[in-house]
């Protein structure tokens, strides 16, 4: 049984990926520092799969701890989620982002090399494209100057991985996520925002639940069909499955180059109002929202050209925005009951 290390495996995308790894017969070991999640997520994963993943509470900023981990655990591959991801916060705390997203990656890669671990799937983001000139966005779209330190850390991380793969046995697949949304159908795991949600969907579900009084729609004067910004909302379970396909590709030596990039989205653009209308329709709830000024740093539109992921990687999204809005609401209702 192949053993996979999942860093950040108790956070939103990581936890859903651990479930899919276990469903596919992988042994999983999770590293998480619990800075952006709770240990209850481990119980949630176990409740879904009936297999308790091994868990090591570890801060990847502690180089010694990373060295000790790899001395004590032999793994066949790594899926690296652990990073800070709040775009706005990164503007005010750049050093936190460079230390947490870049420093930790260097320690991880050093110990992977020292212990002959040669396969890594990296959690990248469509943020690397900025506002693309052409839509849908292909992997050949130019990498534009990032709008935030967060986005810059994703671009830098891809460069670091490319540089290391050139001079070592490291094989890399960087998955460039569009906007991950929704939750597991069981509503046992989902998106756990800590504090005031920065992302759209948690704010939508908390508004519907009465936790937030009103959703602010950041601008309706964009050059889009209804004036609100367009994104590619990918169901987190489809996104998790992409990691399994990618890891298998590396383990079976099917990758064609030492580092590969794939856009992971639905290929479908949805506006903020599309999301609101869909959420209201599938859940039969009324959302209280108002149009306000644009949020600084937001781009007008982004949605993926998924041809490469579909044809080369052999992955395609299957779940819809409706599925995502339904599961997000079920999860929010479960959270309220906790």
Q: State the residues that interact with ligand WQD by CB under 6 A.
A: 85, 87, 125, 127, 177, 179, 198-200, 203, 215-218, 229, 231, 272, 295, 298
Phi, psi of 7 (to 5 degrees): -85, 140
- In terms of CB distance, is 117 or 243 closer to ligand WQD? 243
Phi, psi of 57 (to 5 degrees): -75, 120
Least distance to ligand WQD from the beta carbon of 192, Å? Answer: 14
Least distance to ligand WQD from the beta carbon of 162, Å? Answer: 20
Active-site option among 97, 98, 129, 150: 150
d(CA 296, CA 276): 21
Least distance to ligand WQD from the beta carbon of 315, Å? Answer: 18
- In terms of CB distance, is 81 or 315 closer to ligand WQD? 81
d(CA 67, CA 56): 13
d(CA 39, CA 185): 20
Tell me if 310 sits within 8 A of 139, measured CB to CB: no
Among this protein's residues, is 150 annotated catalytic? yes
Least distance to ligand WQD from the beta carbon of 213, Å? Answer: 12
- In terms of CB distance, is 127 or 255 closer to ligand WQD? 127
- In terms of CB distance, is 119 or 179 closer to ligand WQD? 179
d(CA 9, CA 16): 8
Torsional class of 116: left (φ above 0), alpha (ψ -120 to 50), beta (otherwise): left
Q: Please give the order of strands across the beta sheet that includes 119-125.
A: 54-57, 27-32, 3-7, 77-80, 119-125, 171-177, 259-264
**Tokens encoding 82:** 């652990």
- In terms of CB distance, is 75 or 192 closer to ligand WQD? 192
Least distance to ligand WQD from the beta carbon of 147, Å? Answer: 8
Strand ranges (E), 52-210 = 54-57, 77-80, 119-125, 171-177, 179-181
**Catalytic amino acids?**
150
């Amino acid at each position: 049984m192949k053993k996979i290390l999942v860093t950040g495996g108790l956070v939103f995308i990581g936890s859903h990926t651990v479930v899919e790894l276990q469903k596919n017969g992988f042994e999983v070991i999770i590293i998480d520092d619990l800075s952006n999640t709770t240990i209850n997520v481990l119980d949630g994963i176990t409740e879904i799969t009936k297999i308790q993943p091994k868990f090591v509470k570890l801060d990847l900023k502690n180089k010694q701890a990373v060295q000790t981990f790899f001395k004590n655990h032999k793994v066949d591959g790594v899926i690296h989620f652990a990073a800070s991801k709040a775009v706005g916060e990164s503007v005010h705390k750049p050093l936190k982002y460079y230390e947490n997203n870049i420093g930790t990656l260097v320690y991880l890669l050093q110990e992977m090399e020292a212990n002959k671990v040669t396969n890594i799937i990296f959690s990248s983001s469509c943020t690397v494209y900025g506002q693309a000139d052409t839509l849908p966005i292909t992997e050949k779209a130019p990498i534009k100057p990032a709008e935030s330190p967060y986005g810059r850390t994703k671009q830098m991380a891809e460069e670091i991985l490319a540089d290391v793969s050139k001079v070592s046995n490291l094989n890399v697949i960087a998955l460039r996520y569009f906007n991950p949304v929704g939750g597991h159908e069981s509503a046992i795991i989902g998106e756990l925002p800590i504090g005031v949600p920065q992302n759209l969907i948690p704010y939508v579900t908390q508004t519907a639940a009465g936790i937030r009084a009103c959703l602010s729609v950041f601008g309706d004067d964009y050059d889009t069909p209804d004036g609100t910004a367009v994104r590619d909302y990918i169901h987190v379970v489809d996104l998790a499955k992409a990691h399994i396909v990618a890891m298998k590709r590396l383990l079976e030596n099917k990758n064609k180059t030492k580092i590969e990039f794939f856009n992971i989205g639905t290929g479908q653009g949805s506006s903020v109002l599309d999301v609101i209308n869909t959420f209201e329709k599938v859940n039969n709830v009324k959302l209280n929202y108002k149009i306000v000024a644009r949020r600084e740093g937001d781009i007008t539109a982004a949605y993926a050209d998924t041809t490469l992921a579909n044809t080369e990687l052999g992955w395609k999204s299957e779940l819809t925005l409706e599925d995502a809005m339904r599961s997000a609401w079920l999860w929010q209702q479960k959270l309220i009951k906790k």
